[in-house]
Structure 1
Amino acid sequence: MERRVLPAPMGGAITDVPGIKVGHFTETRRPTGCTVLLAEEGAVAGVDVRGAAPGTRETDLLDPGNLVERVHAVVLSGGSAYGLAAADGVMRFLEEAGIGVPAGPGIVPIVASAVLFDLNYGDHRIRPDAEAGYRAARAACADPPAEGSVGAGTGATVGKMFGPERAMKGGIGTASASIGGITLGAIAAVNAVGDVIDPSTGRVLAGARDAPDGRRRIGLADAVMRGEVPARLQSGTATTIGAIATDAVLTKAEARKLAQLAHDGLARTIDPIHTMWDGDTIFCLGTGKSGLKGNMMVLGIMAARVMAAAVIRATLAARSVMAEGVPSIPSVVDLN
């Protein structure tokens, strides 16, 4: 059998951006978890939601026409809509640290969030909650975060159009690049209906297989074009969520535009993307720590390239789900 050559992904991490910390909480009772990005001094933020089945919190606040300029954290969580509760714990952590927007007698930490669906594996009643978010925030640091089957990527899977039994393992990944004194990083929890594609070759790295115990990746989009129509899926059973961050000085409108451009990285590495069953959401954080305004054309190219690298790294770092009562879901490492 032909052995697939794995791509060499871009290095670095989103924590290479000054002012950004990342922490994971990984649930041990079933495959799920959450990941927190802290910007303790605040970061100008934007968001772009492309999938048709999103689960989000505080995204309206990020509209350039709305009042608050900066956020203090972004939470990426498993658990579907239940996982939005993790943001409550992050707010508690930040309030205890005295971080937030002054409001009346106290402060209000601004915490945006997006969730992915991972309730199919193990006891669905176990999902990230406020305590999970608190613990992830408490663990946050500026070191390169762990990748693969941790945090929000713990229960992530890809290639689910023909059913979860033919899927492969997704995960969480990160990457960064620096140009002209400005650094931009990305992090992505990859849990797509579609396949993950190596953009340098067009080959499927991880995705739908020919059978529940099969090793061959069929190529979802190609299968559909051949007339292989999948069974009807329940909406909201997937979703890739992530964030980019930069130390460039951004306006809210520029942050939103960079979040939009980062979706190009998803489109290069996931096929199909932005489906009716995904709630794909990307945040953008600008810490301004470089003091440089930055060129939006350059930043946009960086955003797409670095996000694509984060998706590939998430897939290569993922490991098979191993939990009681959970069917084995192979990773790229298992099948290559």
Structure 2
Amino acid sequence: MALARSSPDAGSLCDVAGLKLGHFTHPSAPTGCSVVLCEAGATAGVDVRGAAPGTRDTELLRPENTVQQVHALVLTGGSAFGLAAADGVMRWLAERGHGFAVGQARVPIVPAAVLFDLWLHGADTAPDAAAGRAACDEASATERSRGRIGAGAGATVGKLLGVEHAMPGGLGMASVRIGGVTLAAMVAVNAVGDVVDPQGGEVIAGPRGADGRPRSTVQALLAGEVPGGALPGSATTIGIIATDARLTKAQATKLAQIAHDGYARAIQPVHTVMDGDVVFALATGAAGVDGDMTLLGAVAAEVVARAVVDAVT
């Protein structure tokens, strides 16, 4: 049976207790940012697979490093210019007394990842600190919007045969309740490859053919077509997998690694030299139980794949 096409009923990242989600979508340009707030702190990990990533503060998430929790995560458009959105999120959190205590100071920990949408607008409209603050102001624990919003506002897919054939990407979410805990994902899909049905392999969104319908990039390349000039760093899928179970930093890192398999199930090709694919993992511990990594790991890729499909449907 093919994977059911996702809808708002597929779930939200906010189904994980302890998280708030807010978006800023530029009023006149196809770009924006999405902010996940965890003001009380959440354990985090990250795994970067794409060859052209744009990130901030990912090294501090390594299990052996000092900082144990983050206070927000930012997914943003605007390529490297968009990392400025995290500055606004830091200021917003600091003004409210949140952050890692260093003597008398508190330093909010706000890792971020960017995707490339500058071919649709310009550096002057890339998300900035004000955009990050605006997303924080809009954040709530009930946010369920998806599609062409926030970090997904300028996302496209199916670009490897030429950007003129691309179809819209977007921001997608999915969640499941399993083993007494919640596992949820949010993904901004801006892949150079296609989004496919993880079960049947049908291309859901990819390069448009002469009839306007999506077709398979991989099959076109195997048939002798040549790539259409997509530039290194001109794509990227960035996302978050989150749970209300308790995890260590090492476990969160492993969950992020496993979650990348969801990209591989639903995006073809994936992790290319054009993409900067990133998955963050968050564990709020709000469920009050230790996470069963065998169980969470077994379903993580499925939840991420559902979120990828949700982003384009």
**TM-score with structure 1 length normalisation?**
0.90
Partner of 2:101: 102
Partner of 1:268: 265
What is the percent sequence identity of the aligned residues?
57
What does 1:139-178 align with in structure 2 at a 5 Å threshold?
Answer: 139-178=138-177
Shift of 1:75: 0.1
Contact 2:163 2:228 (C-alpha < 8 Å) held by counterparts? no
Structure 2 stretches lacking a partner, 5+ long: none
Partner of 1:79: 78
Shift of 1:124: 4.2
Q: 1:307 to 1:6 in 2, by over 3 A?
A: closer
Q: Distance between the aligned counterparts of 1:179 and 1:217, measured in 2?
A: 34
Partner deviation per Cα, 1:191-237 (whole Å, 9 max, x = no partner): 000000011221000011124xx413220011111121213432100
Extract structure 1 runs of 4+ deviating beyond 2 A. Answer: 5-10, 122-125
Q: Distance between the aligned counterparts of 2:3 and 2:120, measured in 1?
A: 27
Aligned residue among 281, 294, 311 for 2:308: 311
The aligned amino acid for 1:83 is G
The DSSP-based 3-state class of the residue aligned with 1:173 is strand
Partner of 1:38: 37
Is residue 233 of structure 2 the alignment partner of residue 220 of structure 1?
no
Partner of 1:322: none
Q: Distance between the aligned counterparts of 1:246 and 1:119, measured in 2?
A: 32
Partner of 1:126: 125
The aligned amino acid for 1:87 is A
What does 1:1-336 align with in structure 2 at a 5 Å threshold?
Answer: 7-9=4-6, 11-211=10-210, 214-316=211-313
The DSSP-based 3-state class of the residue aligned with 2:218 is helix
Contact 2:25 2:33 (C-alpha < 8 Å) held by counterparts? yes
Shift of 1:49: 0.3
Shift of 1:36: 0.2
Contact 1:79 1:116 (C-alpha < 8 Å) held by counterparts? yes
The DSSP-based 3-state class of the residue aligned with 1:120 is helix
Partner deviation per Cα, 1:6-63 (whole Å, 9 max, x = no partner): 9333711110101011000000121000000011110110000000000000000000
The aligned amino acid for 1:230 is P
Contact 1:57 1:84 (C-alpha < 8 Å) held by counterparts? yes
Contact 1:23 1:145 (C-alpha < 8 Å) held by counterparts? no
Contact 1:45 1:283 (C-alpha < 8 Å) held by counterparts? yes
Q: Distance between the aligned counterparts of 2:208 and 2:119, measured in 1?
A: 18
Contact 1:86 1:131 (C-alpha < 8 Å) held by counterparts? yes
Q: Distance between the aligned counterparts of 1:6 and 1:301, measured in 2?
A: 17
Q: Structure 1 stretch 229-238 or stretch 113-122: which is displaced more?
A: 229-238
Q: 1:6 to 1:302 in 2, by over 3 A?
A: closer
Shift of 1:294: 2.3
Shift of 1:123: 3.9
The DSSP-based 3-state class of the residue aligned with 1:125 is helix
Structure 1 stretches lacking a partner, 5+ long: 317-336
Contact 2:5 2:309 (C-alpha < 8 Å) held by counterparts? no
The DSSP-based 3-state class of the residue aligned with 1:111 is coil
Q: Distance between the aligned counterparts of 2:296 and 2:217, measured in 1?
A: 31
Give the number of equivalent residue pairs. Answer: 310
